[in-house]
Copies of this chain bind each other. A is one copy, B any other.
Amino acid sequence: MNIGEASTASGVSAKMIRYYEEIGLIAPKGRTQSNYRIYGEDEVHVLRFIKRARSLGFSLEETETLLKLWQDKSRTSASVKDIATTHINDLERRIAEMESMVKTLKHLSHCCGGNNRPDCPILDDLAGEQPASGEHSAAGP
C-alpha cells in the first residue's frame, strides 16, 4: 500500500500522514526501491486511531500519548482516563468561555435595532460606553 492508498483507507490526507511521520507519530513499514512509502494494515489502523482521537478534540501531543498507551499492553486504564478527564475539563472550560460570549452577544444583538439607523448598542459596548441598560458586559451579578 502506498501513501495514497493508505490515505483513502484511513481517511487521513497524504499530507498529514507525512506530517505525522515527521513528528514521530507513525512510520511507514518501509520504502520501495524508488523511495515510495509502504504501509500495511497496522499502519492504517494507527492512522484511523489518530483520526478518531483528533475528531474527539485531542491534540496531537495527547494523541501521541494515547497511541503509546494503546500499544503498551502493561498500561493502566487509569492513565488513559486521566488524559480523557483532563481533556473533558479543557473542553468544558472552552465551552463555558464561548457560551459567555454568546450570552453577551445575544443580549447586545437583542438590543440592536438592526435597521438603517447608525445607533448600535453592539458598537457602544465595544467602545466601552455603557448606555443606561447595564447588566451585561464585565458587570455580572
Task: Give the interface of A toward B (CB within 8 A).
Answer: 45, 48-49, 52-53, 55-57, 66, 69-70, 73-78, 80-82, 84-85, 87-88, 91-92, 94-95, 98-99, 101-102, 104-106, 108-109, 112-120, 122-123, 125-128
Q: How far is the CB of A112 from chain B (nearest CB, A)?
A: 5
Residues of A contacting B: mostly: helix
Task: Tell me if A45 and B108 are in contact (CB < 8 A).
Answer: no
Task: Tell me if A99 and B95 are in contact (CB < 8 A).
Answer: yes
Task: A109 to B56: give the CA distance in the assembly, Å.
Answer: 13
Q: Which residue on B lies nearest to A109, using beta carbons?
A: B84
Note all chain B residues with C-beta closer than 8 A to A85. 109
